[in-house]
Amino acid sequence: MHARQNTAGLSTPRAAPPPIHVRDHALFLDLDGTLIEIQDRPHAVFASPALRELLRRLSDLMSGALAVVTGRSLGDLDDILEGAVDHAAGVHGFEIQRGARITRDQIELTQLAEARADLRRLLQQHELPALVEDKHASLALHYRQIPEAEELVQSIAREIAAKRGLRVLQGKMVVELIATARTKGYAVTVLMAAPPFSGRTPVAIGDDRTDEDAFSAATRMGGFGVLVGEPRETHARYVLADPSAVAAWLQMGLRAG
């Protein structure tokens, strides 16, 4: 059925996931690269009315057991999805939204303020036009516009992280300095602990390295992960090629329900 897993629970899946059970599954969906195609600039993205409608209807059918788990801030996410989902996690689990209630991790802001100053200085010194996105709990350096500078941007990020005691998160053409110890796996675990998610089987879908924690958490709780993109070593059990394959799979769930 699917590729055999090695001792670390990693495998290279080739099969598409089974259909969604709207009464039994809980869905945890990444946004960029999963529900929408990655854009050159993080703020150039928007969700089509069709996608927002799909999420809204699926969420209703699943009694609300659908959450978007993203590296974006919740404010940013809300601008993009316009309230299509009731539950979400922002900045890789730093902020959790359950209906109208939002909770955030306690973080040390001084480290980030110092890291911000370091970053400004180093980027200027190397004349790097990397785009810095300030997400309150983290600083994301986007280098999609300057892929040739990847190594330099990465080394700058590592240097500042080591100096200021921050964690480094790797993404696609982005490296993030983050002040919280939380992960997308934490977000899945914490949302699963209460209605409307509790008692359901978690299914986590994502395309990036930060989604691996969500795949592992879902697997630990008896569910599974779905990797979006080219098959590679992952904690996910299944694979879907791209956001349009994800949308088609979600649509199938709607019809089955």
Q: Which residues of 52-69 are buried (b: 16+ CB within 10 A; e: fewer)?
A: bebbbbbbebbebbbbbb
- Of 26-34, 107-115, 161-169, 235-243, which segment contacts Mg ion by CB under 5 A? 26-34
219: helix, strand or coil:
helix
Backbone φ and ψ for 223, nearest 5 degrees, come out as -105, -150
What is the nearest approach in angstroms of Mg ion to the Cβ of residue 71?
7
Residue 32 interacts with Mg ion (CB under 5 A)? Answer: yes
CB-CB contact of 80 with 47 (8 Å): yes
When binding is defined by CB under 5 A, the residue of 25, 29, 30, 221 that contacts Mg ion is: 30
How many other CB atoms are found less than 10 A from the CB of residue 45?
A: 18
What is the nearest approach in angstroms of Mg ion to the Cβ of residue 85?
16
Instruction: Mark whether 60 is an active-site residue.
Output: no
Question: What residues from 33 to 52 belong to the interface with Mg ion (CB under 5 A)?
Answer: 33
Structure tokens at 241: 């090629």
CB-CB contact of 251 with 54 (8 Å): yes
Question: Pattern 46-85, binding to Mg ion, x per CB under 5 A?
Answer: ----------------------------------------
- Measured CA to CA, the distance from residue 156 to residue 161 in angstroms comes to 9
235: helix, strand or coil:
coil
- Of 6-14, 30-38, 83-91, 149-157, which segment contacts Mg ion by CB under 5 A? 30-38
What is the nearest approach in angstroms of Mg ion to the Cβ of residue 210?
8
- Per the residue annotation, which of 24, 30, 40, 76 is the catalytic one? 30
Residue bearing tokens 């330099």:
152
**Interface with Mg ion (CB under 5 A):** 30, 32-33, 207-208
Tell me which residues are annotated as active site. Answer: 30
